[in-house]
Structure 1
Amino acid sequence: MTRDPSMRAVGWARSLPMGSSVKTARDWTRGHLATLGWDRTAPDVADAVVLAVSELVTNAHVHARSAAQLILAWDEECLHVTVHDSSHLVPRQRSLDHGALGGRGLLLVDALADEVRTRPCPRGKDVTACFRPGGGARTG
């Protein structure tokens, strides 16, 4: 990815109330990834970001029963994808049930991102996944 010396950091934020479509979050994210050129220069990482956004927003709506605030922040090294919700419960990996239709979202986000962290906030929590376009998703 070519560095633009005029761009030090850039970010976008979007509120996604309960009942809003996760597709809205995916489309919004894909549009911002295109402005960074990732649709051309890092399409696999862009797809991983969009899938992680889908999982994190779904978790906010379904498990936290909360609106989601989606924040994308690019600092020329890492795209920080943060989803904030109003639940104070820290997400945890459920026991893997091979017959279950769900329960793999956090495992998937952890596999796709270069780094994932959860931070409690006074009014809920933030789950942040970091994506580096040059390095791709981590393995193992």
Structure 2
Amino acid sequence: MGEMSMRATGWARSFPINGGIRAARSWAREHLDSLGWTTGAPETAGAVLLTVSELVTNAHLHAHSSANLVLTWDSRCLHVSVHDSSPVLPTPRTPDATTPNGRGLGLVDALADTWHTRRQTDGKTVVACFYPPGQPDPHACEPDGPQPDH
């Protein structure tokens, strides 16, 4: 029997608090271009770029930290991971009309196929997963795979 192997392609870069959001979007767009997503899956590429903006903004605004952005394509899902130095886990809030903040995680939840947060000794990482159109199972990219019903 042959072994099933998975190949992944990934890119990583750190974005400082001053001016990091626009640079992060531009950097992510270059890699989406290299994967063919900006032409082959423009709506998904747009959702990825908006998610990058929101997660990098959260790292800068709420964690007062640089944002370490990692994009990983494993032939099923594009994982967008943003690490910051704050141990405080993000919590979705219900935005109100008078406050411009509070919509970030709601957007990520609406845009990404799945997302989760991991605590780490030096902060946390938020990971959003996107699969291109035509993929049959959006839950195949959850961190531990689909969970069986008990």
Query: TM-score surpassing 0.5?
Result: yes
Structure 1 partner of 2:84: 85
Aligned residues: 131
Structure 2 partner of 1:52: 51
Q: Structure 1: how far apart are the matches of 2:115 and 2:58?
A: 15
The answer on whether the counterparts of 2:84 and 2:125 sit within 8 Å (CA) in structure 1 is yes
Structure 2 partner of 1:115: 114
Q: Structure 1: how far apart are the matches of 2:43 and 2:67?
A: 25
1:40 pairs with 2:43: no
Structure 2 partner of 1:27: 26
Question: RMSD of the TM alignment (CA)?
Answer: 1.6
Structure 1 partner of 2:105: 106
The one-letter code matched in structure 2 to 1:95 is T
Q: Structure 2: how far apart are the matches of 1:87 and 1:20?
A: 19
Bigger RCO (CA 8 Å, 6+ sep) = 1
Per-residue deviation, 1:95: 3.1
The one-letter code matched in structure 2 to 1:82 is S
The one-character-per-residue Cα deviations of 1:59-87 (angstroms, maximum 9, x if unpaired) are: 00000000110000000000000000000
Q: Structure 1: how far apart are the matches of 2:35 and 2:130?
A: 13
Indicate how the Cα distance of structure 1 residues 37 and 48 shifts in structure 2: closer, same or farther if over 3 A, else same.
same
Structure 1 partner of 2:94: 95
Per-residue deviation, 1:121: 0.5
Q: Structure 2: how far apart are the matches of 1:87 and 1:69?
A: 12
The answer on whether the counterparts of 2:20 and 2:56 sit within 8 Å (CA) in structure 1 is no
The answer on whether the counterparts of 2:54 and 2:108 sit within 8 Å (CA) in structure 1 is yes
Bigger Cα displacement from structure 2, 126-135 vs 55-64: 126-135
Q: Runs of 5+ in structure 2 lacking a partner?
A: 1-5, 139-150
Q: Which runs of 4+ in 1 moved over 6 A?
A: none
Q: Runs of 5+ in structure 1 lacking a partner?
A: 1-6
Bigger Cα displacement from structure 2, 88-97 vs 34-43: 88-97
Q: Give percent identity, aligned residues only.
A: 56
* TM-score for both structures, normalised by structure 2: 0.83
Q: Structure 1: how far apart are the matches of 2:51 and 2:66?
A: 17
The answer on whether the counterparts of 2:93 and 2:106 sit within 8 Å (CA) in structure 1 is no
